[in-house]
Structure 1
Amino acid sequence: MRLIERVWFDKHPARFVLVPLLLPFSALFYVISRLRKFAFDCGLKDSFKAKVPIVVVGNIGVGGNGKTPIVLWLVELLRAQGYQPGVISRGYGGKAPQYPYLLDENSQVQFSGDEPFLIYQRTKVPVCVGANRRASVEKLQQLGCDIIVADDGMQHYKLGRDIEVAVVDGKRRFGNGLLLPAGPLRELPARLTSVDMVICNSGQPQAGEIAMDLLPSQFVNLVTGEKCSVAEFLAKHKAVNAIAGIGSPARFFNTLTALGLTLNHSQGFVDHHHYQMADFDQLPEPQLPLLMTEKDAVKCQDFNLAHAWYLTVEAKLDEQCEQLLLSKISDIMAKKA
C-alpha cells in the first residue's frame, strides 16, 4: 500500500505532515467540483440524455470498492430478464488504437484496460471504452442495446443517468473522510443521499445501505483453464503465494486466509498494475501455487505461469434488492417508450 493510502485509511503517522500540506488543495478541489456539479444541475452545462436507460455504478472515493462484481451481477440480472445490456467504461490503464473502442474476441487488455476486458470475457455483452461516454453510448445503441451499464463515472455529469448505484467499501468506509488529495474522496458522503441505491461491500451496512458479499466461486488455472472448486483446491494445497494489483490487496489476501490457506508470501501492487515477468522472478518457494484475482489474471495471460491460479468471485445480494432495481428499470423503460 502506498504511503498516501496509509494516511487515508490507516492513520499513518505521516498524516500529521501530509494532511495539513494537502488540505488547501482539497479545499480547491471541493470548490471546483461543487461549481461543476452546480453548473450541470442548473442547466448551465448540458448532459447527454440517451434513448435507453443508463445505470451508473460508481462510488464517491478512489480505489476498488467492488464496482466490477456489481456490474457483472447487474449484467446477468438484466440478461435474465430479457434485456440486451451493454457496458461502457473509461478504460483506465488501456490505450486503444481508436475510440470509442468496442471489445471483441481479438481485443487485447492493453487496449481496453483490465476491468472492461474482464467484463467482456465474463459476460460477452457489448463493452465499449473511451473518455467520451456519449460516443460509447451511441455506439452501443447502434448495436441494439436497450439498457446500458456505466462502469464508474458517477462524477461524469456530462453523461445523463437514470439510476445511480453507489458502492461503499464496508470495511474501509470513507477513510479519513477528506476530499482528494488529503483524503480518498471525490465527493463528500452527503452525496450518497441523492443516489438510488447504496451497496455496502462486506463489513456492516449502515442505515439505508444494502449488504453485498463477494463469494469465492472457483480457482481457474491461468495456463490450462482447469477449474477447481474451493474445496478441491484446499484438499490439494495448503500453502500458497499470492499477488494482487487491485484497490485493496489486503481484501484479497484476507479472503484467501479466511478460506483456510496459508500465505507463504503476499505481494500487493497498485491498482491497475501492469505486470512484467520480473514481478514473478523473486517469489520465495516458486513451486507453490501462485494465486491472484481475476482482474490480475487478464493481464498475466501471456506469461507461462503454469502454477498460477485466479479466484473468481460472485456478488451476492438479496432478492429484495433485485426486485427494487428491476422495478425502477421497468418504470424508466415505460417512460422512455
Structure 2
Amino acid sequence: MSIHSFLSQHIHKAWQRKGLLSTLLFPLSCITQCIVQRKRRYYQQHPDAVYTSHTPVIVVGNLVVGGAGKTPVVLALITALRQHGYTPGVISRGYGVRIGEHAHLSAQNTEANYLGDEPSLIAKETGVPVAVHPKRILALQALNQAFPQIDVVIADDGLQHLQLGRVAQVVVQDARGLGNGRLIPAGPLRDLPSQLQHADLIVTQQTGSDISTSPEYIQGVPHVGMQLWPTAFRNLETGQCLSPDEALSLFSGKTVSAVAAIGQPQRFFSMLQKFGVNPQSPLSLPDHYDYSYSPFGKIDADFILITPKDAVKCKKFADKRIWITEVSALFSRADWHTPLLEILQRH
C-alpha cells in the first residue's frame, strides 16, 4: 500500500466519528459550510445564472470525498436508458487531462490521456458520445452541438456544479454513508448533508452485506443497494477473455495479486475475496494514478488483477500476467431506474 493510500484510508476511518481530530478541525469546516451555503444561496436567488439545456441532464454524484462508485452507476444508467429508447451522452470533468478553451470529444479521441480515465472507460465500453471539460457547461454545449441526436445527458460527477441545470440527481454513496456528518476537513462531506434529501435516487454501493435487504427509501428518497460483481476476466496484452468459472480454474493453485488506483481500492480487493480470489500483497495506488511507469514489475505473482479504470492507462505495459476484472452492477431492485425514467417522461 502506498503512503498516499495508507493516509487516505486512515483519514476516512477517522471521519466516521467525531473524535479529537475532527473537533480540532471543526472551525475550518464551518468556513467550508459558509462557502457552500453562500454558493447555493446565490444560485437560488439568481436562477438566470443557471444554464439549462434543451437536453435533460441527469447528474450522478456523491456528497463525500473519495470514490463512491459513480462510474458503475453511469454505465448501468446508460444501459437502462438505451433499453427504454433513449440516446444518451455523457459529460465529465476529464480529471488529470490538460484541457484548454474547448471541450474534448470522444469522437476525436477516446484515450485516457485525452479524456481522462473514467470518461475514456465510459466511451470505450458503451460507445456513447462523451465530452469533457472542467466547466461542465462547456462540455454540455460541445456535446449537444457535436451530437444533436442525443436526447438525455448524464453528468458523471457535477453534483456541486450548481451552474449546471439538471432535471434529476442521483447520489451515490457507500458503507461510509455521510460519515460523521461534517464538511471537510473535519469530515468527509463536500456538500451539506441536507442535500441528500434533494436527490431523486440514492444508490448505496455495498460489499459484504446482502443488497436484497436494502431499504427502499432513505430520508424519503427512493433508494437501491448496489454490488459490483466480476462478469469476465480479459488479458490486457492478448485480449483473451475468460468467464468467471474459467478464471477461477486458471487462478487455482497460483499466486494472484491485485492493483487498484481507484477511490476505494479495498472495495475492489474485498470483491475479489468474496468472489473466491484472495489477492496476495494487493497494491493500492492513488485515485487517477497516471501509470507513467509500471508498478507491476516488482510484483511477484503468477497473475495480477486490475480494474477496467486502470486498464485504459496500462495497455502500454507488455505483461501477460495482467488480467482486467470486468464487472457489472447488481441492484437490489430490477426497476431501480424507474424514478429517473418517470422524471424524463415529464420532460
| 1:187 aligned partner | 191
Cα distance in 2 for partners of 1:160, 1:97 equals 23
Residue 57 of structure 2 aligns to which amino acid in structure 1? I
| 1:226 aligned partner | 240
Tell me, yes or no, if structure 1 residue 84 matches structure 2 residue 84: no
Tell me, yes or no, if structure 1 residue 32 matches structure 2 residue 48: no
Residue 26 of structure 1 aligns to which amino acid in structure 2? S
Indicate conservation of the 8 Å contact 1:94/1:114, yes or no.
Answer: no
User: Aligned match of 2:157 in 139, 148, 152?
Assistant: 152
Cα distance in 2 for partners of 1:329, 1:237 equals 45
Distance 1:194 1:91, change over 3 A: same
Q: How many residues align?
A: 328
Offset from partner CA, 1:236-270 (integer Å, 9 cap, x none): 11330101111111100011111111222201111
| 1:270 aligned partner | 286
Tell me, yes or no, if structure 1 residue 198 matches structure 2 residue 202: yes
RMSD of aligned residue pairs (Cα, Å): 2.1
User: Aligned match of 2:7 in 3, 24, 30?
Assistant: 3
What SS is found at the alignment partner of 1:256? helix
| 2:259 aligned partner | 243
Distance 1:7 1:156, change over 3 A: same
What SS is found at the alignment partner of 2:76? helix
User: Aligned match of 1:252 in 251, 268, 276?
Assistant: 268
Q: How many Å apart are 1:320 and its aligned residue?
A: 2.8
Q: How many Å apart are 1:4 and its aligned residue?
A: 4.7
Q: What is the percentage of aligned positions where both structures have the same residue? A: 36
Cα distance in 1 for partners of 2:96, 2:122 equals 15
Distance 1:328 1:93, change over 3 A: same
Cα distance in 2 for partners of 1:44, 1:83 equals 28
Indicate conservation of the 8 Å contact 2:15/2:186, yes or no.
Answer: no
Structure-2-length-normalised TM-score: 0.88
- Runs of 4+ in structure 1 deviating by more than 4 angstroms, as ranges, are 10-13
Q: How many Å apart are 1:211 and its aligned residue?
A: 1.6
Structure-1-length-normalised TM-score: 0.91
Indicate conservation of the 8 Å contact 1:8/1:182, yes or no.
Answer: no
Cα distance in 2 for partners of 1:322, 1:276 equals 38
What SS is found at the alignment partner of 2:166? coil
Distance 1:201 1:46, change over 3 A: same
Residue 250 of structure 1 aligns to which amino acid in structure 2? Q
Q: How many Å apart are 1:11 and its aligned residue?
A: 6.6
Unpaired stretches in structure 1, ≥5 consecutive residues: 333-337
Q: How many Å apart are 1:155 and its aligned residue?
A: 0.4
